[in-house]
Amino acid sequence: ILHLAETLNFSGRKVAAAWASVPFPALHGSSLPDALGAHQQDVPWKLLASCRERKGSSCFAQAVVLRGVCKDKRIRQPRSPLPAWERAEHILQRYLHTAFPGAFSTSHVLEQPCYTLPPYPQFFSPRLSRRGFLLDKPPTYSPAAVESIPVLAALQSAPVLHTLLYGLYKDLQKLNTRRCASFFSAGVEHDDFQEALHELRTLSQCYETEFEADESEDEADSD
């Protein structure tokens, strides 16, 4: 993961954000174009870090993996404008180029799903089929245990990291170092701490866009 994060970063950037969709939301019997087309306004995965997400989607570079969709299966009769005759990896790549114009995107589609047999906890919705696909409505009978699920995961070099890193910088800046005598007695110099704090702010600025710059100015004014 470290090497993958390095390949996604440039211009002084060093961090990647993890996103995931567990399970990937697809109706039972629907095509991959329809599953992706249902999320044209917002991507079907969520940020795993505890950070406030901004509306809209943007990133500088990303690596995306979709599991549980057959690579060789031809998609038939989709309602989505995404081409029906292409294979799954091409459909996913086209979706990423549409959702993230101008970003470098690499994607992989793996046929094998993520298995959820015991001791995996069964915390799934009753609307989920045994293979992890959404049903039109909950079954009238007791649903069978979910044995596998399709999953989408992504690593992104994205502007949202400015919010995360700058927030961490602001929290550390408020730290009263005089109360951390034991911390500094362990060998950390106060000047080294301040230098690391400066480097953290500089790193956050590497992910800054005009939108994040406006937010930073607003926060500075409120302070």
Overall number of domains in the chain? 2
Q: Which residue has the tokens 């106060």?
A: 190
- Whole-Å CA distances, 192 to 15, 130, 195: 21, 54, 5
Q: What distance in Å separates the CA atoms of residue 223 and residue 220, rounded to the nearest whole number?
A: 5
Same domain, yes or no: 30 and 62: yes
**Within this chain, do residues 167 and 141 fall inside the same structural domain, yes or no?**
no
Instruction: Specify whether 10 is located in the same domain as 100.
Output: yes
Q: Are residues 134 and 53 in the same domain?
A: yes
Q: CA–CA distance from 203 to each of 32, 156, 190, 214 (Å)?
A: 37, 15, 20, 17
CA distance 126 to 137: 9
> Cα(209)–Cα(162) distance, rounded to whole angstroms?
9
Are 138 and 170 part of one and the same domain?
Answer: no
Could you tell me if 44 and 152 lie in one domain? Answer: yes
Residue 18's DSSP bridge partners are 155
Domain containing residue 47: 1-157
Q: Please give the mean pLDDT across all residues of the chain.
A: 81
Domain boundary among the residues 135, 157, 179 is at 157
Residue 218 lies in a domain: no
* Domain identity same for 152 and 174: no
- Is 16 part of any domain? yes
Residue 221 lies in a domain: no
Question: Residue 134 falls within a domain, yes or no?
Answer: yes
pLDDT for residue 72: 40
pLDDT tens column, 31-54: 888 888 877 777 888 899 877 666
pLDDT (tens digit per residue) in 168-215 = 999 988 887 777 777 667 667 778 888 999 999 999 999 988 655 555
Q: Supply 2's token pair.
A: 């470290």
Query: 36 with 131, same domain?
Result: yes
Do 169 and 220 touch, CB atoms closer than 8 A? no
User: Are 103 and 203 contained in the same domain?
Assistant: no
The pTM of this model reads: 0.79
Whether residues 116 and 13 share a domain: the answer is yes
Out of 157, 181, 201, a domain closes at: 157
Check whether residue 137 and residue 179 sit in a common domain. Answer: no
> Predicted confidence band at 74 (pLDDT cuts at 50, 70, 90)?
very low
Tell me the average pLDDT across 62-84.
62
For residue 112, is it within any domain?
A: yes
Dist CA 57 CA 122 (whole Å): 31
How large a percentage of the chain has pLDDT more than 70?
Answer: 80
**Which of 110, 126, 157 is at the close of a domain?**
157
Enter the tokens of residue 53: 């997400």
- Per-residue pLDDT band for 28 (boundaries 50, 70, 90) equals confident
Q: State yes or no: pLDDT of 94 exceeds 50.
A: yes
Contact 25, 68 (CB under 8 A): no
Tell me, yes or no, whether 116 and 11 share the same domain.
yes
- Would 126 be classed as within a structural domain? yes
User: How many angstroms separate the CA atoms of 207 and 12, rounded?
Assistant: 9
Evaluate whether residue 192 is within a structural domain: yes
Domain for residue 223, yes or no?
Answer: no
CA–CA dist 47, 15 (Å, integer)? 14
